[in-house]
Amino acid sequence: MMPPEPRAYLDACRRLIGIETAASETYTEALDYFHDDPEQALLIAIRAGHDENIDCISDHLVAMGENTDPSSEAGDRFSQAVESISVTFGETATLMALEAGEAAALDECRAAIADSEVPPTLKEDLRSRMIPRLLRHVAELEKLRAEQAGLASQGA
């Protein structure tokens, strides 16, 4: 078996840290539109999960002797999913956009796992740490959105 290609490893880490940084920043922006618990508490908790993902990927970059500055290109997939939706369509649409951003992050993780040149150490972190966290985020956002829909129908 050939050793992993350092370029593929670095590229995967750059894409992942970019999308995770954009996710953290996007949740910070979304907090401006959610002022009540449990919404605000959940968004803060999810943002903390993305910060943990940033730390995980940063560890890989440091191990390669690379800096940990995020790349903006991959992060655009997350932030574009949410950009200006809050102002235009409200909280429910914002939650749906955040879910779409989480799905983009999951896609990026799965692509790295599928890349034969990405080393097993990163794949293991993706499988055991990052993907489960992202899946929890999606489930929590879906639950919150469903609760909001239930409250809205009761008020109608």
pTM above 0.85, yes or no: no
**What's the CA gap between 29 and 64, in Å, rounded?**
32
Give the tokens for residue 12. 């995967």
Question: Tell me: the pLDDT tens digits for 4-48?
Answer: 458 899 999 999 999 999 889 889 888 888 877 788 999 999 999
**What's the CA gap between 140 and 27, in Å, rounded?**
14
List of domains in the chain: 6-155 (1.20.1260.10)
What pLDDT, on a 0 to 100 scale, did the predictor assign at position 57?
95
In sequence order, which residues have a C-beta less than 8 Å from that of residue 21 and are 6 or more positions away?
54, 70, 75
